[in-house]
Amino acid sequence: MSSLPTRRLLDALGTRLPLIQAPMAGSQGSALALATSRAGALGSLPCAMLSPDQLRTELQALADAGGGLPFNVNFFCHAPPSSDDVRESAWRAALAPAYAAFGIDATQIAAGAGRQPFSHALADVIEPFRPRVVSFHFGLPSAELMTRVRSWGAVVLSSATTVEEARWLEAHGADAVIAQGLEAGGHRGMFLHDDLTTQLGTLALVRQAVQVVHVPVIAAGGIGDAQGVAAALALGAAGVQVGTAFLRCPEATTSAIHRAALAGPDARHTALTNLFTGRPARGIVNRFMREWGPINPAAPAFPLATAGMAPLRSAAEAQGSGDFSPLWAGQYAAAARDVPAAEIVQALAAGLPA
Amino acid sequence: MSSLPTRRLLDALGTRLPLIQAPMAGSQGSALALATSRAGALGSLPCAMLSPDQLRTELQALADAGGGLPFNVNFFCHAPPSSDDVRESAWRAALAPAYAAFGIDATQIAAGAGRQPFSHALADVIEPFRPRVVSFHFGLPSAELMTRVRSWGAVVLSSATTVEEARWLEAHGADAVIAQGLEAGGHRGMFLHDDLTTQLGTLALVRQAVQVVHVPVIAAGGIGDAQGVAAALALGAAGVQVGTAFLRCPEATTSAIHRAALAGPDARHTALTNLFTGRPARGIVNRFMREWGPINPAAPAFPLATAGMAPLRSAAEAQGSGDFSPLWAGQYAAAARDVPAAEIVQALAAGLPA
């Protein structure tokens, strides 16, 4: 028998299970979202790195094949930084030994942002598709954009990494809060703070978030199996969001290098790093993180750090190496298995009350 | 109905409940241990800061008033560092502005260790008392000392902060492993690693530890109420160790300054700091941590950092300020309440299966 918070969440999401497949930009598209939604969870489409045309194509794929199932479309809503030539130059100089080792001409690397925040232009693209759920990372978009999203009848989610952020999101109109504990892979959703010491472990965060907000709380971070789901519900969470456990599924677009790292012993050691994008995100520790970070205050502001890293990543990957790749993973990568996504959903669902 | 791991743990500890009151040196003695053992949990006596005479007095108090109840005596088992005059001088210079502000003559501060590791001399003191449980932090003592402790029939526990440490402790003779997640207050028990990025959130650590060791796993870190206990058991833990939730109990010796910090809004923000002892430990962020840390690579090696900080702490506390005090707390300080320890035990026990 589901708890009241779980029933409220199921009503909001329109799913059979209180489980969300976490949006993972760069490692999945509509195929994983379709597979997880078909299995009864809420599939998510990460949109931060899609052009408007790519976004339309992916949404059309979900509409064509989804049979009316609910989906979540996920956007970043950071304030884009102004470019900073001095900082960019200093960072390129810091990376110079790596450029030299790969024979990369650093003067030919274009600057620029790897990720666009949610905007009216992107809202124009998704509006005709009327997604059931729209989720955000790094807070919420402007009140005007929020009004627009709500006008479609969409349910709005966002991530909180502290008790204060959970309160803020509820006060600013989130219909449910994703409590993203420190164990989570990928970008920390932190937006009221930039001090990493404010970040709470999943257990401590979920337990406290459920006591300060009235909307349903979705636990995220370090959860990858039935036992993790049961623990999250015991803490008072209405449901669970899981990412890393899906990264090795055939429906994900995770690179071969990333899959190998997830399946090997290196996946035991992840760290928060700002090297790849400018914001802290959790990934498997590799050479780039060991030698330049994992946290380096000289890295350009989010998302500008992507530009300087990209050619190093490409050159290393061309040699079969993940030394300069973002190998995003949470602290329970051992939960990821090389099985269809529906099997992961089924394993997670075994932790729900009968 | 208790699970098999819980029944094994209860057999080992000799308690009615699979709950351990965490040893908290500087904030409690025999009184809290007595109160929690009488309530059905395992009370712990932190011995790291006791002289042999003080230790004997405390053990006698437990023997006299304990009525045969089981207790845990806890020791550190670090390798004492050699003194380093250059490092000590540099650190005193870094603290000079604070010494000057309080009118402290830094040349009069004695160097020296604030904490002694477990030794034959300490074993001599505890041997006649035959404690049911002996727990260690920072690994395990020498094989010779382990043999001696085992010869008393004592059950041996120690803390693991990573999956590797859990495996190591089992292989080296621990009868149960305390999985100390990142949320935990006080010193990190880490001993195979000194890289803080290796440290796992409680949820991720407990879930993985139970899959790699055969001995019972005790969850610690961020647990302070029935829901936390239920979550830990759902992850596969045999039992739970709780510290911070007891810090405001009348039976604890927590200072008034520390109690006020725990009860106020500052307790929401803790951080790992090496400033107070030389090893990372979690406490409420205060002025010392903000201005000199929280992690400062110049701080003397554990436990030598205690000496330089002590006069600052005394001077600030004499003015009613906790600016230079170690305000140890985990990430769920809101669970600490100003009630008798038996009430906290009872609240935790409500999370156990009926």
pLDDT tens digits for B200-258?
999 999 999 999 999 999 999 999 999 999 999 999 999 999 999 999 999 999 999 99
Tell me B80's DSSP state.
P
Tell me B177's DSSP state.
E
Q: Distance between CA A41 and CA A72 in Å, rounded?
A: 11
Contact B72, B59 (CB under 8 A): no
Q: Distance between CA B212 and CA A246 in Å, rounded?
A: 22
Nearest to B207 among A164, A227, A235 (CB): A227
Q: Does residue B113 carry a pLDDT above 70?
A: no
Position A113 scores a pLDDT of 67
Q: Distance between CA B123 and CA A70 in Å, rounded?
A: 64
Report how far Cα A273 is from the mean position of its chain's Cα atoms. 14
Position B2 scores a pLDDT of 87
Pairing of strands B19-21, A281-284: unpaired
Interface A:B, Cβ pairs < 8 A: 118
User: Of the candidates B8, B20, B24, B17, which has an alpha carbon nearest to the alpha carbon of residue B259?
Assistant: B24
Q: Distance between CA A272 and CA A278 in Å, rounded?
A: 11
- Strand boundaries in chain B, DSSP class E: 19-21, 43-46, 71-76, 133-137, 155-160, 176-180, 186-187, 217-220, 239-242, 270-273, 281-284
Range 153-192 of B in CB contact (< 8 A) with A: 162-164, 181-183
Q: Does residue A52 carry a pLDDT above 80?
A: yes
Nearest to B203 among A164, A202, A270 (CB): A202
H or E segment and range at residue B34: helix B30-38
Position A110 scores a pLDDT of 81
Q: Does residue B108 carry a pLDDT above 90?
A: no
Please state, for a pLDDT cut of 90, what percent of chain A lies above it. Answer: 94
Distance of residue A227 Cα from the nearest chain B Cα, in angstroms: 5
pLDDT in tens, A163-185: 999 999 999 999 999 999 999 99
Q: Residue B34 corresponds to which amino acid?
A: L
* Tokens found for residue A7: 């029933």
Helices (H), A127-255: 143-151, 163-171, 202-212, 226-234
User: Would you place residue A32 in the very low, low, confident or very high pLDDT band (cuts 50, 70, 90)?
Assistant: very high
User: Would you place residue B74 in the very low, low, confident or very high pLDDT band (cuts 50, 70, 90)?
Assistant: very high
Q: Does B243 touch chain A (CB under 8 A)?
A: no
B62-75: average pLDDT:
96
Q: Does residue A331 carry a pLDDT above 90?
A: yes
User: Would you place residue B115 in the very low, low, confident or very high pLDDT band (cuts 50, 70, 90)?
Assistant: confident
A250-274: average pLDDT:
98
B260-283: average pLDDT:
97
> Which of A138-152, B107-121, B142-156 is predicted least confidently?
B107-121
> Which of A316-320, B111-115, B331-335 is predicted least confidently?
B111-115
Distance of residue A346 Cα from the nearest chain B Cα, in angstroms: 18
Nearest to A221 among B201, B231, B269 (CB): B201
User: Would you place residue B144 in the very low, low, confident or very high pLDDT band (cuts 50, 70, 90)?
Assistant: very high
* Tokens found for residue B165: 């440490």
Q: Does B51 touch chain A (CB under 8 A)?
A: no
Contact between B202 and A197 using a beta-carbon 8 Å cutoff: no
Give SS3 for B78: coil
Position B99 scores a pLDDT of 97
Q: How many helices (H) and strands (E) does chain A have?
A: 14, 11
Q: Does residue B176 carry a pLDDT above 70?
A: yes
User: Of the candidates A326, A292, A284, which has an alpha carbon nearest to the alpha carbon of residue A101?
Assistant: A292
Q: Distance between CA B119 and CA A210 in Å, rounded?
A: 45
Those residues whose C-beta lies under 8 Å from the C-beta of residue B153, and which sit 6 or more positions away, are: B130
R_g (Cα) of chain A, nearest Å: 19
- Tell me the C-alpha to C-alpha distance, in Å, between residue A97 and each of A93, A277, A286, A291: 8, 20, 17, 11
Q: Does residue B114 carry a pLDDT above 80?
A: no
**Which residue is associated with the tokens 């935790």?**
B348
Name the average pLDDT for chain A: 96
Q: Does B349 touch chain A (CB under 8 A)?
A: no
Contact A33, A71 (CB under 8 A): yes
Burial of A338 (0-12, 13-18, 19+ CB in 10 A): exposed
* Tokens found for residue A283: 């990934």
Q: Residue A26 corresponds to which amino acid?
A: G
Nearest residue of B to residue A198 by CA position? B269
Contact between A203 and B334 using a beta-carbon 8 Å cutoff: no
DSSP-assigned states of every residue in B118-173: --HHHHHHHGGG--SEEEEESS---HHHHHHHHHTT-EEEEEESSHHHHHHHHHTT
Position B239 scores a pLDDT of 98
Nearest residue of A to residue B201 by CA position? A201
Position A150 scores a pLDDT of 97
Contact B198, A269 (CB under 8 A): yes
Position B300 scores a pLDDT of 95
Distance of residue B190 Cα from the nearest chain A Cα, in angstroms: 15
Backbone angles phi, psi at A35, to 5 degrees: -65, -40
Contact B249, B341 (CB under 8 A): yes
User: Of the candidates A292, A309, A304, A299, which has an alpha carbon nearest to the alpha carbon of residue A274?
Assistant: A299
Task: Output A290 or B111, whichever has higher pLDDT.
Answer: A290
Contacts of B224 in chain A (CB under 8 A): 207
Contact B199, A219 (CB under 8 A): no
Taking residue B36's Cβ as centre, other Cβ atoms within 10 Å add up to 32
| Preceding omega of A294 cis (within 30 degrees of 0) | yes
* Substitution target from B165, B203, B275, B327 for chain A, most A beta carbons within 10 A: B203
* Edge-to-edge order in the sheet of strand B186-187: B186-187, B281-284, B270-273
Q: Residue A189 corresponds to which amino acid?
A: G
Q: What is the set of domains in chain A, with CATH numbers?
A: 1-78+115-247+335-354 (3.20.20.70), 80-114+255-328 (no CATH)
Contact between B183 and A163 using a beta-carbon 8 Å cutoff: no
pLDDT in tens, A139-158: 999 999 999 999 999 999 99
Q: Residue A220 corresponds to which amino acid?
A: A
User: Would you place residue B106 in the very low, low, confident or very high pLDDT band (cuts 50, 70, 90)?
Assistant: confident
Position A109 scores a pLDDT of 86
Contact A233, A3 (CB under 8 A): yes
Give SS3 for B348: helix
Those residues whose C-beta lies under 8 Å from the C-beta of residue B20, and which sit 6 or more positions away, are: B13, B41, B42, B44, B72, B178, B218, B239, B240, B241, B242
B156-176: average pLDDT:
98
Position A107 scores a pLDDT of 86
Q: Residue B23 corresponds to which amino acid?
A: P
Q: How many helices (H) and strands (E) does chain B have?
A: 13, 11
Contact A222, B203 (CB under 8 A): yes
Helices (H), chain A: 4-13, 30-38, 52-65, 85-94, 96-102, 120-126, 143-151, 163-171, 202-212, 226-234, 256-263, 287-292, 305-318, 341-349
User: Would you place residue B280 in the very low, low, confident or very high pLDDT band (cuts 50, 70, 90)?
Assistant: very high
Those residues whose C-beta lies under 8 Å from the C-beta of residue B108, and which sit 6 or more positions away, are: none
A58-86: average pLDDT:
94
